[in-house]
Structure 1
Amino acid sequence: MSKMQPNILLIYTGGTIGMVKDFKTGALRAFNFKNLLKSIPELNLLDCKIESVSFETPIDSSNMNPDYWVKIAKIIEINYDNFDGFVVLHGSDTMSYTASALSFMLENLAKPIVFTGSQLPIGDLRTDAKENLITSIQVASLQYRNKPVIKEVCLYFEYKLYRANRTTKINAEHFEAFSSPNYPDLAESGVHLKVNKNQLFSPNLRKKLTVHKKLNNNVALIKLFPGISETLLESIFNTPNLEGVILETYGSGNCTTEAWFIDLLKTNIIKGIHIINVTQCPSGSVIMGHYETSSQLKKIGVISGKDITTEAAISKLMYLLANNVSKDVFKIVYETPLRGEMT
């Protein structure tokens, strides 16, 4: 059986990686991806065929929103059967949000989708763009017996491949911009590309890809702080059409035990608003009932986000709300890992 060269589709949404500097003016402008092989001849050394598609108007990732997530998902859906892997080029600021959302939207995904970007433009002397791009394409084209090795949405940055829905951006100026605090790396790029096979996600290969194109963003994210007021929280909970709230609590899921606070949460849970407890700590897990300061939350029906990141928590909430999961089972479904996003 002869080995076919994998086909890789490069999807450019925007971001620093796709910029080139006009050396006369110093201004950044979007790069024409048709000239990619000319600019990065090393790509010719990769054992794969590369095609590219770009947003008509590339966007800064700060302008990213669920409509664009759907746009990326549709590009993947249309091209799914013709390509063996996908590399999504995206600005690093909201990359963890987009990549986490895509992991939920693409059910039964059996091919690699690798998100990457860079801290410096592709044409800069000291750019990290080339390495990130070359290795991401290499990761997307990894095959074993003509089948993709990686079958999930992941994120590659500065020599490490992570499960996308476990990542968070931790640094605005270092090349090592991302971290996966609660889950091991999927691969590490050194002299060799070392894949940690035991950590990879195993989808059900008998099921066909289902692309979920509806997301419900009637959600709020509240970070608790000492002295947060009742009026502020009431005004958030009184937002018209609000359906779900991610509550960033202290430590392993703790919060104030003041009566007004617990009553406010209880009233809104009874009203049908889903409240998810995630930790403010960069790593670790919510263990409700571990301390007295979280046992009341457990009692009133607050959902445990366990060790999920805030980025994955919010996109999972939008995804489940849009899929009309009934109120009775919502808590059970949310607390169940769907794409390896929680332990």
Structure 2
Amino acid sequence: MKQLLVIFTGGTIGSKAEGLEINVTDSGSYALLEEYRKQSFSREDVSLDTLQPLNLLSENITPSDWITLAAAIREVDWSAYEGIIVTHGSDTLAYTAAMMSYLFTDISLPLVLTASNYPIADERSNGLRNMSSSIDFIMDAKLSGVFVVYENDKGQSVVYLGTRIFQNESFTDQFRSPYVLAYGQMTSDRTFLWQADRRNPTPESLSVTKSAIGWTPATLKLQDAILYIKPYPGLDYSLYEFAASKPRVILHDLHHSGTACALDSGKYSLTAFIKRCKEMNIDVYLCPIKDASDALYESSHRLIEAGAWFIENMSVEAALTKMMLAYGLYEDSNEADALIRGQSIYFEKYDVQEPIN
């Protein structure tokens, strides 16, 4: 009998619906395991221990909750388990997966996050299948690291690396990954199949490494004075006055071609906004972009000349959480930047060579 640990944090997978309202309950998370045991696909060769450091809908999660979750994982005796499953709300799972990936590069067993599209009692729910596939992945793959397992709209149980997953889509309830490249999937015979591609680390290359952060629950700090801005036609930067308080750093999203409004001046000009931020000692990052050394639009060059830093080949979710970590660790912008752009902690930066055919 193999031991697994299930860490509940709340979310839809640990919720119940009363009328038209969905909310977490004290018993909701444990009902997941009760229902799993009733299914024909449940495994009798595993024993599930439980832990619940958090119980909230994931849209309400804050950096202090991440520290609480990380502390709970760190305090577990990893040698006692084959793997750990974290049940989580789908809304912010991508951010939590990225943060845990950075914090647990030294983990010696699989840490799998999973979620549900509807409460478990709803016949449309994929939560029980996601739980089952997470257990199967741990038992078959036996890989150290941080992963997400979630069923897509084709009924496939997809496996993602923790730093390579986008936020759940609003209209489809689907997770995607950059370059539409997941790490692999679970097959019908409950085995893990790696997605062969040069941009994916091989299963054999996944190994325990020394923590790049060197944190403890008592010393871990995450910077929350970060402003995230998404561009759209007519975005008025004069609305960002920062009179009472100001962000330490700004992450500015880009259009798909790595651009945003680069007018010379005026309230719609990101170029002028970047210059104003630099004068106020506010660092500005631009993301996502595939390759800033490749041919860029003239507008992109203007943004660089204004003082912004491009984050290449990394999702916004992975970039934002990495910034929170880096600016929590370092007061000096150059030290923080060296971690954000100069170091790959857990496969968050893609190798953009041609894929294997």
Q: TM-score, normalised by structure 1?
A: 0.83
| Pair 1:61-2:58 in alignment | yes
The residue that corresponds to 2:334 in the other structure is 328
| Pair 1:94-2:100 in alignment | no
1:310: Cα distance to partner? 1.8
Equivalent pair of 1:105/1:319 in contact (CA under 8 Å): no
Look up the equivalent residue of 1:249 and give its one-letter code.
Answer: L
Specify the SS of the correspondent of 2:109.
coil
The residue that corresponds to 1:73 in the other structure is 70
Choose the corresponding residue for 2:284, options 275, 280, 285: 275
Deviates most, 107-116 or 151-160: 107-116
Distance in 1 (CA, whole Å) between partners of 2:322 and 2:175 is 20
Aligned residue runs from structure 1 range 1-343, under 5 A? 5-20=1-16, 30=25, 31=27, 33-34=29-30, 37-41=33-37, 42=39, 45=43, 47-55=45-53, 58-81=55-78, 82-142=80-140, 148-149=142-143, 151-158=144-151, 159-172=157-170, 174=172, 177-182=174-179, 184-192=181-189, 193-196=191-194, 199-200=200-201, 202=205, 205=208, 207=210, 210-211=214-215, 213-233=220-240, 235-236=241-242, 238=243, 240-260=245-265, 261=269, 262-279=271-288, 285=290, 287=292, 290-324=296-330, 326-336=332-342, 337-343=344-350
Alignment length, in residue pairs?
Answer: 324
1:241: Cα distance to partner? 4.4
1:231–1:128 CA distance, 2 compared to 1 (3 A): same
Equivalent pair of 1:277/1:303 in contact (CA under 8 Å): yes
1:27: Cα distance to partner? 6.7
- Output one character per residue of 1:154-203: Cα deviation in whole Å (capped at 9) or x when no partner: 211101011122212343464x6211133622221231333317634746
Specify the SS of the correspondent of 2:284.
strand
Distance in 1 (CA, whole Å) between partners of 2:209 and 2:232 is 47
Specify the SS of the correspondent of 1:259.
coil
Specify the SS of the correspondent of 2:252.
strand
Equivalent pair of 2:259/2:299 in contact (CA under 8 Å): yes
1:285: Cα distance to partner? 2.4
Specify the SS of the correspondent of 1:108.
coil
Specify the SS of the correspondent of 1:335.
helix
Distance in 2 (CA, whole Å) between partners of 1:21 and 1:255 is 42
1:20: Cα distance to partner? 4.1
CA RMSD in angstroms comes to: 2.9
1:138: Cα distance to partner? 2.1
1:341: Cα distance to partner? 1.1
Distance in 2 (CA, whole Å) between partners of 1:8 and 1:241 is 44
Specify the SS of the correspondent of 1:165.
coil
Specify the SS of the correspondent of 2:326.
helix
Deviates most, 240-249 or 181-190: 181-190
Distance in 2 (CA, whole Å) between partners of 1:332 and 1:101 is 18
Distance in 1 (CA, whole Å) between partners of 2:209 and 2:100 is 20
5+ residue gaps, structure 1, are: none
1:302: Cα distance to partner? 1.7
Distance in 2 (CA, whole Å) between partners of 1:225 and 1:216 is 26
1:252: Cα distance to partner? 2.8
Look up the equivalent residue of 1:205 and give its one-letter code.
Answer: V
Equivalent pair of 1:221/1:248 in contact (CA under 8 Å): yes
1:44: Cα distance to partner? 5.2
Specify the SS of the correspondent of 2:312.
coil
1:207–1:223 CA distance, 2 compared to 1 (3 A): closer
5+ residue gaps, structure 2, are: 152-156, 351-357
Aligned-residue identity in percent: 22
Equivalent pair of 1:14/1:59 in contact (CA under 8 Å): yes
- Output one character per residue of 1:57-80: Cα deviation in whole Å (capped at 9) or x when no partner: x21111111111111101100104
1:227–1:125 CA distance, 2 compared to 1 (3 A): closer
